């Protein structure tokens, strides 16, 4: 297959590049490095089946030759980064999705949208199933991401219905692993970075809010299966192992041997109180469920951040 991955230098995008290249496909990655990083794809520079285009996906997309698939992963995705780039986040979810769909339509390519559990907002239904419409504050600080992704889902299905584009929608829940940006404020890199520097871990609020964490290799396998499936309606992809943020912080301190403890700091506005995917649809349709345990995934992630921090101290 010949695949375009927007956001190809991002955390998940770069792992998708690796996955499809290892499978024998040709990959074109596009990124403007707002939150993606050249480091994430540096190892692919000389790969014969890899091309990189530095471009903002909200501008007109010109790709020579055919495409089998367009995977639209470009977007700031952590609360800290989408609040730092609110206009860019709205633009890439709206205008960028429109451009990527237009390109898929012109090429007769399959289109896969990276959507998010944030479409459920601060959910009133638990765990979240795909038929739940969500509880989103459109005008709060997170609205820039949540509404952009809700629009992105709407325009994806409009292209499917009006133009017969072959579309897929993945609703991605919290995902972690190597190449998470250390400074993007997400709880996994943030707490691991603090622990490795021997600092107290910043837990927002009383830490009773919950999340469930999916290791990136599991997520990438789910994306590949969804792309290969016939399912047009959204599919949740995430790990259903739910835990409180306080318990998560205690785990990070235990795994790293950090003795500095936890500090409780104010909770961000509209921070969802509970989040956990119902993945029965993915199990049924894709035969997919996460395989990597939290301990195993965290061990790999901690080792990655330890190398990264050591390297930056040396420089």
Q: Which of 82, 85, 145, 215 is catalytic?
A: 145
Closest by alpha carbon to 147, among 115, 174, 175? 115
Min CB(136)–ligand UDP separation in Å:
13
Identify residues 211-230 at the interface with ligand UDP (CB under 6 A): 211
**DSSP states of 63-78:** --S--SEEEE--S--S
What is the CA angle 86-112-68, rounded to 5? 130
Closest by alpha carbon to 31, among 1, 72, 87? 72
Min CB(141)–ligand UDP separation in Å:
12
Selected binder of ligand UDP within 51, 268, 302, 306 (CB under 6 A): 268
Give the H or E element holding residue 262.
Answer: strand 262-265
CA distance 134 to 128: 9
82 is catalytic: no
Min CB(263)–ligand UDP separation in Å:
10
Binding window for ligand UDP (CB under 6 A); candidates: 8-16, 183-191, 221-229, 235-243: 183-191
Does residue number 89 form part of the binding site for ligand UDP (CB under 6 A)? no
Does residue number 250 form part of the binding site for ligand UDP (CB under 6 A)? no
Closest to ligand UDP by CB, 204 or 300: 204
Binding window for ligand UDP (CB under 6 A); candidates: 8-16, 37-45, 218-226, 263-271: 263-271
Residue 175 bridge partners (DSSP): 214
Does residue number 271 form part of the binding site for ligand UDP (CB under 6 A)? yes
Query: How many other C-beta atoms lie within 10 A of the C-beta of residue 267?
Result: 16
DSSP 3-state percent helix, strand, coil across the chain (nearest 5): 45, 20, 40
Sort strands 201-204 and 50-54 into parallel, antiparallel or unpaired: unpaired
Closest by alpha carbon to 242, among 209, 212, 280, 278? 212
Any residues with CB less than 8 A from the CB of 155 and at least 6 apart, and which?
A: 94, 97, 98, 101
Identify residues 69-88 at the interface with ligand UDP (CB under 6 A): 78-79
Binding window for ligand UDP (CB under 6 A); candidates: 47-55, 182-190, 223-231, 251-259: 182-190
Identify residues 186-215 at the interface with ligand UDP (CB under 6 A): 186-187, 190-191, 202-204, 209, 211
Closest by alpha carbon to 127, among 12, 211, 249? 211
Identify residues 51-70 at the interface with ligand UDP (CB under 6 A): none
Selected binder of ligand UDP within 17, 30, 61, 245 (CB under 6 A): 245
Binding window for ligand UDP (CB under 6 A); candidates: 38-46, 103-111, 180-188, 293-301: 180-188
Closest to ligand UDP by CB, 168 or 274: 274
Closest by alpha carbon to 7, among 60, 56, 45, 59? 56
In the complex, the residues that contact ligand UDP under the rule CB under 6 A are: 78-79, 174, 185-187, 190-191, 202-204, 209, 211, 245, 267-268, 271
Q: Which residues participate in catalysis according to the annotation?
A: 145
């Amino acid at each position: 297959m010949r695949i375009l991955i927007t956001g190809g230098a991002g955390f998940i995008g770069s792992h998708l590049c690796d996955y499809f290249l290892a499978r024998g496909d040709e990959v074109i990655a596009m990124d403007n490095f707002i939150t993606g990083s050249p480091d994430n794809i540096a190892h692919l520079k000389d790969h014969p089946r890899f091309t990189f285009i530095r471009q903002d996906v909200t501008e007109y997309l010109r790709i020579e030759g055919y495409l089998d698939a367009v995977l639209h992963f470009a977007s700031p995705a952590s609360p800290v980064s989408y609040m730092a780039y609110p206009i860019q986040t709205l633009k890439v979810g709206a205008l960028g999705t429109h451009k990527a769909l237009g390109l898929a339509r012109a090429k007769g390519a399959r289109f896969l949208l990276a959507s998010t559990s944030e479409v459920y907002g601060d959910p009133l239904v638990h765990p979240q199933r795909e038929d739940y419409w969500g509880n989103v504050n459109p005008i709060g600080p997170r609205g820039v991401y949540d509404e952009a992704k809700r629009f992105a889902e709407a325009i994806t299905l409009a292209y499917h219905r009006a133009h017969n584009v072959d579309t897929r929608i993945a609703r991605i829940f919290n995902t972690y692993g190597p190449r998470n940006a250390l400074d993007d404020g997400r709880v996994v890199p943030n707490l691991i970075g603090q622990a490795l520097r021997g600092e107290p871990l910043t837990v927002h609020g009383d830490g009773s809010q919950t999340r469930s964490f999916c290791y990136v290799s599991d997520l990438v396998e789910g994306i590949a299966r969804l792309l290969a499936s016939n399912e047009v309606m959204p599919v949740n992809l995430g790990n259903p192992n739910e835990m409180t943020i306080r318990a998560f912080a205690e785990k990070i301190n235990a795994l790293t041997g950090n003795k500095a403890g936890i500090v409780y700091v104010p909770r961000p506005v509209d921070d969802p109180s509970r989040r956990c995917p119902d993945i029965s649809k993915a199990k049924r349709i894709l035969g997919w469920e996460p395989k990597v345990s939290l301990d195993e995934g965290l061990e790999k992630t901690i080792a990655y951040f330890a190398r990264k921090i050591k390297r930056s101290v040396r420089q």
